[in-house]
């Protein structure tokens, strides 16, 4: 019964991952060529290269910021949908959250040109209102623009995950907390937060992984800081034909993601403030 699932997961996930790990310990012999000699040098280069360090710092930093903002911003929305909205409107609210995902990722990125661009909605409004004399150029083609785009894309996922978790909280628990004199903030921190911590960690890790490894958003919106770790990996494989080098950087990224998940999963046992 499980054989088909094992085959799919094994073939689509495990085998490619193992291939990547094996490649990371090989020696590159020129474009596309490898020698089957074991070496740690690819990992040493990946960790010690100043360019990779700079890019990694920016990529993981942006990813963490986007993930944190998504989770923090998702909580009020998820709480409202789960506990304040009548059941009749809940599905509509979830649909409105999800509807943005129906549009192509690339189209949504380009849409930010019309919102944050020099002639976009924000700058046009600011100039018309007399708040600024000329367009604010930092709104787009900057790390701010990348962060805004990341939050825009991944916030719906965080809302969905937290809403799903909150809907498993029995309303009686919240009533009991209020009956015992807990203020709304305390109810949230001692009841809702611990019971949704697993979903929050999941949302954070999901957003962190996808944003840290994103290729397109930094390229289109990042301005003169448009390189991400994904671009570096791509260059290693495609431009340089250095599969072991690209594989090593990928494995280091994977290790960082695993460490982040392991550390944050300890929060699932947190009992609240």
Partner 1 sequence: MSDEMLSPTQRISRRELMRRTLLGGAAIGLSPSLLSALEGTAAAATSAVASGSINFFSWQGYDLLDEPAMKAWRKKNGVTIHSTYVNTHNDITAKFTAGGGKGIYNLSTYEAGYGPFYVGLKIPQPLDMSKIPNFKNAAPLFKSGPVAKLWWNFAGHQWAVPFTWGIQGINYASDKIKAPTSYHDLLKPEFKKKFGVTDDPVAAIVIGAHVTGVFRADSRYTKAQLDKIIAFWKTLKANARLIVPSYGNMADLFASGEIVAATPGWAAVNSFAAAKGDKTVKHVAPPEGSASFCDAFFIPNGAKNTDAVYAYINQAFSLEAQAQEAENLVQAAVAPGAVKLMNAATRALYPYKDMTTVLTKTAPLETIPTNVPKGYATFDDWNKAWEKFKA
Measured from the CB atom, the residue of 40 and 110 that comes closer to partner 1 is 110
In the complex, the smallest distance separating the C-beta of residue 199 from partner 1, rounded to whole angstroms, is 32
Task: Please report whether residue 223 would count as binding partner 1 according to CB under 8 A.
Answer: yes
In the complex, the smallest distance separating the C-beta of residue 215 from partner 1, rounded to whole angstroms, is 9
Number of residues this chain uses to bind partner 1 (CB under 8 A): 33
Measured N-to-C along each axis, helices 87-99 and 143-166 cross at an angle, to the nearest 10 degrees, of 150
- Which range in 72-80, 136-144, 190-198, 199-207 contacts partner 1 by CB under 8 A? 136-144
d(CA 187, CA 177): 6
Both structure tokens of 140:
């787009």
95-114 footprint of partner 1 as x/- string (CB under 8 A): -----------x---x--xx
Measured from the CB atom, the residue of 55 and 81 that comes closer to partner 1 is 55
Which element (helix H / strand E) includes 115?
Answer: helix 105-116
Q: Which of 185, 192, 167, 158 is nearest to 77 (CA)?
A: 158
Note the residue count of the chain. Answer: 273
Task: Please report whether residue 267 would count as binding partner 1 according to CB under 8 A.
Answer: no
**Among residues 239, 259, 263, 273, the one that binds partner 1 under rule CB under 8 A:** 239
In the complex, the smallest distance separating the C-beta of residue 200 from partner 1, rounded to whole angstroms, is 32
**DSSP, residue by residue, 4-35:** HHHHHHIIIIIHHHHHHHHHTTSEE-STT-EE
Task: Please report whether residue 115 would count as binding partner 1 according to CB under 8 A.
Answer: no
Residue with tokens 């809907």: 167
Task: Please report whether residue 136 would count as binding partner 1 according to CB under 8 A.
Answer: no
Task: Please report whether residue 189 would count as binding partner 1 according to CB under 8 A.
Answer: no
Measured from the CB atom, the residue of 49 and 268 that comes closer to partner 1 is 49
Task: Please report whether residue 137 would count as binding partner 1 according to CB under 8 A.
Answer: yes
Task: Please report whether residue 126 would count as binding partner 1 according to CB under 8 A.
Answer: no
Residue with tokens 């919240």: 174
Buried/exposed code over 246-267 (b: 16+ C-beta within 10 A; e: otherwise):
bbbbbbbbbebbeebbeebeee
DSSP state of 69: H
Q: Which of 228, 260, 232 is nearest to 248 (CA)?
A: 232
**Among residues 24, 26, 43, 55, the one that binds partner 1 under rule CB under 8 A:** 55
Residues that bind partner 1 (CB under 8 A): 31-32, 51, 54-55, 106, 110, 113-114, 117-119, 137, 140-141, 216, 219-220, 222-224, 226-227, 231-232, 235, 237-243
């Amino acid at each position: 019964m499980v054989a088909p699932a094992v085959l799919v997961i094994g073939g689509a996930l495990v085998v490619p991952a193992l291939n990547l790990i094996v490649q990371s310990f090989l020696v590159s012999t020129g474009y596309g060529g490898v020698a089957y000699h074991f070496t740690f040098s690819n990992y040493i280069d990946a960790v010690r290269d100043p360019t990779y360090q700079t890019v990694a710092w920016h990529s993981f930093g942006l990813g963490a910021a986007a993930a944190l903002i998504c989770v923090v911003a998702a909580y009020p929305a998820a709480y409202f949908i789960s506990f304040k909205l009548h059941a009749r409107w809940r599905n509509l609210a979830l649909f409105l959250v999800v509807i943005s995902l129906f549009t192509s990722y690339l189209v949504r990125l380009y849409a930010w040109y019309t919102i944050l661009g020099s002639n976009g909605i924000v700058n046009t409004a600011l100039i018309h209102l007399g708040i600024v004399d000329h367009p604010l150029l930092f709104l787009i083609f900057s790390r701010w623009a990348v962060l805004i785009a990341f939050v825009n894309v991944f916030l719906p996922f965080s809302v969905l995950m937290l809403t799903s978790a909150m809907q498993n909280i029995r309303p009686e628990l919240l009533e009991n907390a209020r009956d015992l004199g807990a203020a709304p903030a305390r109810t949230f921190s001692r009841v809702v937060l611990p019971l949704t911590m697993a979903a929050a960690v999941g949302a954070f890790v999901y957003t962190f992984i996808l944003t840290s490894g994103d290729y397109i958003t930094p390229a289109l919106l990042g301005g003169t800081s448009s390189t991400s770790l994904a671009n570096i990996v791509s260059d290693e494989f495609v431009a340089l034909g250095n599969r072991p080098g690209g594989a090593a950087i990928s494995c280091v990224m994977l290790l960082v993601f695993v460490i982040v998940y392991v550390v944050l999963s300890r929060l699932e046992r947190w009992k609240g403030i």
